[in-house]
Amino acid sequence: MSAAPKQLHDAGQSLWLDSITREIVTDGTLKRYIDELSLTGLTSNPTIFDKALHGGDDYDEQIAELLAAGKSGEELFFELAITDLRGAADLFRPVHDRTDGVDGFVSLEVSPLLAYETAATTRQARELHARADRPNLYIKIPGTPQGLDSITESVAAGIPINVTLLFDAAQYRAQADAYMKAVERRVERGEDPAIESVASVFVSRWDVAVSGEVPDELENRLGSAAAIRAYVAYRELLGSDRWQRLENEGARPQRLLFASTGTKDPVLPKTKYVDELAAPNTVNTMPEETLLALAERDSIGELLPADGGDNEELLAEFTAAGIDLDALAERLQVEGAEKFEKSWADLLERIGGKESAVGAAG
């Protein structure tokens, strides 16, 4: 077993893969990562599935079957995705069972076209989780202002949720409030409050956004700094009276997840964000190349202190350099939602092309 991934896992951070293809699920690659690289979960999004569908003919046989059954478009896509994620969920099921449901999850995203419709998002989250029929599958809902009610309604209904598209501590706290409202509702109704959830804070997009706009000594340092501020908020919340009352009722912490941890600048070490965000009781979901780069390492550095160390001083330097951190976080979330919609449109276009090609071949 590779040293650095195991050390991170043993320190209390879960390593998840931010990628899925049918090939890695079926050819033994994912199982090998679980056995050798301490991998304990997986996330997906429309862009990831778009790339997987573009990569070859692995999906053609199932597409032909689904077309024959009268399925197309979004409905056909979800059937393909659920097939892949069921396979991955089954591979992670021993992890899920061993950790009593804390780890070993895979994630499937609701349609971003429902972003502004609470009832429709909640309904689709319930339907997708039921269709997948796996206890270790998260449904991803964006933690935008429009998504907060859907998060509350879905968790209150007992659906494990991956809250995605968070960028700063304020957005983290807002969705944490939505999550705790749901848990409080379950406690009031006498229902099991232990509904698993993660809150996904995106990292690398910060550095891309301010590239060339800050002094050289601040380049590629904002992503981790923003994520560390969110981590401090997370640790503070776990110590709050509100959360501890819920924990006394049997609730489990909603773990913080570091997402978008692949480096965009080719001059940077591939493990930069992994190195800087090594923190207990969190998750880091990383691209395959980042995981493999980490596997080549013999050790990890120091773990993040609960108070973030001197992180606030670093963030103050960005403010002094003219960066409005609150406004940028809001902009990144809005842009992220727009990118989700574009990725979804691209994915459905890819599905349409596959439908035509497979239908013609049939």
**So which residues are the catalytic ones?**
140
Closest CA to 41 of 140, 127, 153, 144: 140
- Strand, coil or helix: what is 38? coil
Token pair recorded at residue 44: 């997906």
Distance of CA 109 to the CA centre of its chain: 9
Between CA 13 and CA 280 the distance in angstroms is: 5
Write the DSSP assignment of 268-305 as a string of letters: S-TTHHHHHT--TTEEEEE-HHHHHHHHT-S---PPPP
Q: 């209904």: which residue's tokens?
A: 157
Between CA 149 and CA 166 the distance in angstroms is: 15
Q: 């776990």: which residue's tokens?
A: 238
Between CA 303 and CA 277 the distance in angstroms is: 8
Between CA 357 and CA 362 the distance in angstroms is: 9
User: How far, in Å, are 61, 136, 263 from residue 110 at the CA level?
Assistant: 25, 16, 26
Tally the C-alpha atoms within 13 A of residue 167's C-alpha that lie toward its C-beta: 21
Q: Find the helix or strand (DSSP H, E) in which 238 lies.
A: helix 222-238
Q: Which residues contact 114 (CB under 8 A, 6 or more apart)?
A: 120, 121, 124
Between CA 178 and CA 166 the distance in angstroms is: 13
Write the DSSP assignment of 7-18 as a string of letters: HHHHTTEEEEES
Q: 């269709």: which residue's tokens?
A: 131
Helix axes 311-320, 222-238, angle to 10 degrees: 130
User: How far, in Å, are 18, 20, 23, 53 from residue 47 at the CA level?
Assistant: 11, 10, 17, 10
